[in-house]
Structure 1
């Protein structure tokens, strides 16, 4: 027979109400009690009756996580962390891939699945703050991504201006004077790339350096884009001696192109990426990269969303700033 909530309660030595509180993500349960219930759930293979829960609470227990591209290592790693954080609070994650297409982002933001989900964690690429604000309705939403965001929506972010400035200042500190920015957005008015570009330019200005010819926009943040950008930069009369890449995939592609043309990293060209995906520790050379606290991003996003659902959040939406650090590896003279 399919195990029931009362069976879980009996196994854990608690009341059915306590089991219900744990399954539904109620925050006022002691860690010891939560652990006992979760262990009993796993031992019995208990699966909550989602239909009964929906009728009882008006919730489905499902949160949507919408990202541009799950093939990108950063979003794949983040999706895993969001899923784990959600499961600890009794929620299931439904993943949507937008491919960065405006029409898909608009449909998701407007509540395409509003009868299926309790809330949305959303990383848009193309929607403007005005469009996001207009689309956000009855379904609670938390935005991810380093971009200007409407004040009407909770937002989890790292300080990309500071992070990009620190990465560029690191290259300046190595004595590099022709530092290229690879992966700048085609539209510099919105999105993550625009704020990273701002930090890069602030660092150059502070060092008395700047050359617009060394800012290379790319349509997408892919390895191929990085390789093509590196080839264009090497063909300049005065090639760069350092690259600040707007994500790690761009950096990996750039390193591949440099290696094919006999350029040594970091001796000839130093490179810093962004996101610190797992591959950065295993590439050859290993890649220096800005490391956002991805665990912190996932936990904060789920916390903001669940607090909206259970009514414990403040009236005004919050912008939660998550820490970051620059990890220096071989591609910019480090030894890690």
Structure 2
């Protein structure tokens, strides 16, 4: 493909600039849970190469409000009947992941998972906290959709650029197995968040990202991809924090995010090929944003940033190792060829199959 018709350069620049702009806007406007907007912007820009129309964008926001309301409905059940509530959350996660794997809208599936986990966990403590999470999701998505439209206006996709291939629709049995695996990846983080929903929101976001990644990762390379992307995201977050500490300002926050996003986006779109698949770099960027966003909030709140980062990174690694274990346990094993029975191995056991 000629260089001038290769759309990957524009796509990488859109992904990096859009994610950095979402980050700057969400922290600049002091949105609730500001890390949500750049994470959603990252997923939108990575999965769609065409801008959303005004009608589609408003429709998506309404869908998000309705899907996340499922978490509000389950919060009273979790408070009064926790065992039944957790079972219903697990069933809802299975159905949401299965819907996406069977050809459904991946964004609707993502918001269903977020609504079932983040909002229901927050609602067990306080209804107003759950409403704050709904507000954060709605505002974060609105920022992501607007930034996506602006990036496509500044860096339009070529009319003859090939569209990304649609994700394959898995057979019913395979989709159910992978949905069960993804649900089991998310559930422990959700149970942990029930003890302190506001403190463990980053763990839920990380587990949702791992659940999505587990749907496209083979068990053979699970440890390398899941754990490697988590560790690399943590290392990049440390380098980012040290660089940002040299000159702290929102402008430098945006520029550093743009630089780190460009480095990862070039590898994600194979402009700088590596042996890792695109999902590895997408998970690396998501981990970087979650860790960095929470560290900035810890700094504003006057907490010990380094201790909190170490604890959070340890939890991220534990959740990732658990996800690798689930991928190993729920990977179908090849059937060994059946050995002939004792009588079939005897000479007279083959007499009836000899030619006349």
TM-score (norm 2): 0.20
Higher relative contact order (CA 8 A, sep 6+): 2
Question: Greater strand share, 1 or 2?
Answer: 1
